Structure 1
Amino acid sequence: MKKLINTAFGYAIASMAFGVFYREFTKWNGFTGKTTLAVNHLHLFALGTVLFLVLALFAKTTSLTAQPMFRRFYGLYNVALPFMTVMFTVRGVVQVLGIPLSSGADAAISGIAGIGHILMGVSIVMLFLALKAVAKTEE
């Protein structure tokens, strides 16, 4: 449970840092349009902080963290979420700075971001499998 709370705390700090970065970077560059930098804060807060606080509650009352699938989820998820965040940042910085991209570079950023989303989807399926295993053993 302590590991999950520490993970949630780490994501909370990252969420706040990205929120400040978004606000200050766009202000410093005089940018007033839409940018993917805006979604970093919410993604890290909801998918990082809130999810791991809820999982800490589950861990307190169940054997969730003992499930092998949960350990796989934890590892993959903590690769996927930062990976997605990095790609949101790359896309957002390009948008704010107005860097013209070739269609290949634009597609590469989208493709790499897509890989992060696929990893996130796989890890969420792993989480549900772990939750189902816990529910089955603790009926």
Structure 2
Amino acid sequence: MKKLLNAAHLYMILGVVSGLYHRELTKAEHFTGQTQLGVVHTHVLSLGTLFFLVVLALEKLFSLTASALFGWFFWIYNAGLVITVGTMTLHGTLTVLGHDSGAAVAGTAGLGHILLTAGLVLLFITIGKRLPAQPQASAAGATTVAHARLRDR
């Protein structure tokens, strides 16, 4: 669980820093147009910070880390997010500086999105495998409590 909290915290810091980077770079270059830098911080804060806080809550409820797939999800999703946000930052910086980003940047961004998607698929598989275990335990516990109450009467 600490790994999830640390990831959320790291992405919170990166999200704030990326917003500062956008503001300062565009101000220094007197750039007033549209650039991907304007949405990097929201992507980092939502797909990083908020996402991992939600996964942390799901971990608390369903012990997702008990699944062997969880580690795969964690590292593939993080790789996808870092690649996606990195290419967005590069593309936005090049735009502000008046340069074209080229096909390599677009291809790398596509790879980042593919990894994000694979990570999300792994997360949903992990949740699906852990979800049935939790309600059965709750139902068994409720049955035991109900039987105990009947015996006490």
Please say whether Structure 1 and Structure 2 have the same fold, judged by a TM-score greater than 0.5. yes
Higher relative contact order at CA 8 Å, sep ≥6: structure 1 or structure 2?
1
Instruction: Give the distance between the partners of 1:118 and 1:10, measured in 2 at CA.
Output: 22
Range 66-75 or range 105-114, more displaced: 105-114
How much has 1:58 moved relative to structure 2?
1.3
Count the aligned residue pairs: 135
How much has 1:136 moved relative to structure 2?
2.3
1:128 to 109, 124, 128: 124
- Where in structure 1 do 4 or more consecutive aligned residues deviate above 2 Å? 136-139
The residue aligned with 1:42 is 42
The residue aligned with 1:6 is 6
Q: AA paired with 1:127?
A: L
The residue aligned with 1:63 is 63
The residue aligned with 1:23 is 23
How much has 1:26 moved relative to structure 2?
0.5
Q: Could you list the per-position Cα deviations for residues 49-79 of structure 1 after superposition, in whole angstroms to 9, with x for gaps in the alignment?
A: 0011111111112211111111100011111
Instruction: Give the distance between the partners of 2:38 and 2:59, measured in 1 at CA.
Output: 32
The yes-or-no answer on 1:109 pairing with 2:122 is no
Asked which structure has the greater CA Rg, the reply is 2
TM-score by length of 2: 0.84
Q: AA paired with 1:66?
A: A
Q: AA paired with 2:114?
A: I
CA RMSD of aligned residues (A): 1.1
Q: Could you list the per-position Cα deviations for residues 57-111 of structure 1 after superposition, in whole angstroms to 9, with x for gaps in the alignment?
A: 1111221111111110001111111111110011001100111x3xxx6122111
Instruction: Give the distance between the partners of 1:38 and 1:65, measured in 2 at CA.
Output: 34
Q: Structure 2: which 5+ residue stretches go unaligned?
A: 136-153
Instruction: Give the distance between the partners of 2:13 and 2:45, measured in 1 at CA.
Output: 9
The yes-or-no answer on 1:85 pairing with 2:81 is no
TM-score by length of 1: 0.93
Instruction: Give the distance between the partners of 1:121 and 1:59, measured in 2 at CA.
Output: 20
Instruction: Give the distance between the partners of 2:126 and 2:110, measured in 1 at CA.
Output: 24
